[in-house]
Amino acid sequence: MSNFQPVSGEIAVSVQHLGLTYTTTIDKRPTLKARLRTMGRGTKHTRVVRALDDVNLDVPYGSVLGIVGANGAGKSTMMRVMSGILPPSQGRVEVYGKVSTLLALGVGFNPSLSGRENVLLGGLAAGMTRKEIADHFEEIADFAELGDAIEAPMRTYSSGMFSRLGFSVAVTVRPDILIIDEALSTGDAHFKEKSLNKIKELRGDARALIMVSHGLGTIREVCNEVAWLHKGKLIQRGEPNAVVDAYEKFLHVGKSAAINEDI
């Protein structure tokens, strides 16, 4: 749907010295004593989190890059910056092509609208025309296997149904670059397998795929490269088994742990 033609080996996303700092102002609820002391004014406290710190990473077309790391490592933050949702605090991200982002549950859909209406919105947001969306509607709905629920408001969906539709829209818009942040985690085994097959299909298409997952078995299976983020820093990047082995060793979970039961 875009005239851009991805070429295997050429840069899709270039992340240079990327830094991101979240600054949150927290209103401390004052105690009675503090309230008397401050004459009723609340006290404010600033929480600063350095979520990404000097990350450098190039993602070429034709590659499937897995991102692993502990909770709070900065993975989702990096995906948000790559998809243009968040501006970097330092450094830059250059994107060559059309990105479709499938962030964790819920992003981009309006829960009070039906699945059908959200497909329209999601397609328009991804740059499709109404006609293109109408032409692909059946394909999207069939892939998500929602049956009649496609006409019901999305607030009535289970989290798995929600992510099925999200995945279905994101892959149907034929993005040059597809970013998937844990979106497969709520799907059941049947849908996971189906979506993995879809990912493998896209992989053969010289597109760039970036997927964040705690499902290390999936990461080993579909990625051809893995990056490990830790406390906002990129600490290792390379061949999937080598990086995932190192990460697992770090987690002290070994190969039998529940973390591998992702399909």
Ligand X SMILES: Nc1ncnc2c1ncn2[C@@H]1O[C@H](COP(=O)(O)OP(=O)(O)OP(=O)(O)O)[C@@H](O)[C@H]1O
Task: Pick the closer one to ligand X by CB: 75 or 136.
Answer: 75
Report yes or no: 184 and 192 within 8 Å, Cβ to Cβ: yes
- Binding segment toward Mg ion, per CB under 5 A, in 1-9, 18-26, 69-77, 121-129: 69-77
- Binding segment toward Mg ion, per CB under 5 A, in 74-82, 160-168, 197-205, 239-247: 74-82
Task: Pick the closer one to Mg ion by CB: 229 or 243.
Answer: 229
* Contact partner, 69, from ligand X, Mg ion, none, Cβ < 5-8 Å per class: ligand X
Cα atoms found within 13 Å of the Cα of residue 167, Cβ hemisphere only: 30
How many C-beta atoms surround the C-beta of residue 161 within 10 A?
22
In whole angstroms, the minimum distance from the beta carbon of 192 to ligand X comes to 18
Report yes or no: 259 and 251 within 8 Å, Cβ to Cβ: yes
Residue 215's contacts (CB-CB under 8 Å, 6 or more residues apart) are 184, 185, 259, 262, 263
Task: Pick the closer one to ligand X by CB: 34 or 49.
Answer: 49
Cross-strand pairs, 16: 92
In whole angstroms, the minimum distance from the beta carbon of 200 to Mg ion comes to 23
In whole angstroms, the minimum distance from the beta carbon of 218 to ligand X comes to 15
* Contact partner, 218, from Mg ion, ligand X, none, Cβ < 5-8 Å per class: none
In whole angstroms, the minimum distance from the beta carbon of 120 to Mg ion comes to 28
Task: Pick the closer one to ligand X by CB: 150 or 227.
Answer: 227
Strands of the sheet containing 90-95, edge to edge, are 43-60, 11-28, 90-95
Task: Please tell me whether residue 263 adopts helix, strand or coil conformation.
Answer: coil
In whole angstroms, the minimum distance from the beta carbon of 227 to ligand X comes to 12
In whole angstroms, the minimum distance from the beta carbon of 260 to Mg ion comes to 19
* Contact partner, 100, from ligand X, Mg ion, none, Cβ < 5-8 Å per class: none
- Binding segment toward Mg ion, per CB under 5 A, in 3-11, 27-35, 76-84, 152-160: 76-84
In whole angstroms, the minimum distance from the beta carbon of 209 to Mg ion comes to 17
Residues near ligand X (CB under 6 A): 22, 24, 49, 51, 69, 71-77
Q: Phi/psi of residue 78, each to 5°?
A: -65, -40
Binding status of residue 218 toward Mg ion by CB under 5 A? no
* Contact partner, 6, from ligand X, Mg ion, none, Cβ < 5-8 Å per class: none
DSSP H stretches of helix in 204-239: 216-222
Report yes or no: 172 and 136 within 8 Å, Cβ to Cβ: yes
Alpha-carbon span 3 to 194, nearest angstrom: 28
Sign of CA dihedral 94, 99, 103, 107: positive
Q: Helices 130-144 and 115-125 sit at what angle, rounded to 10 degrees?
A: 130
Residues that bind Mg ion (CB under 5 A): 76
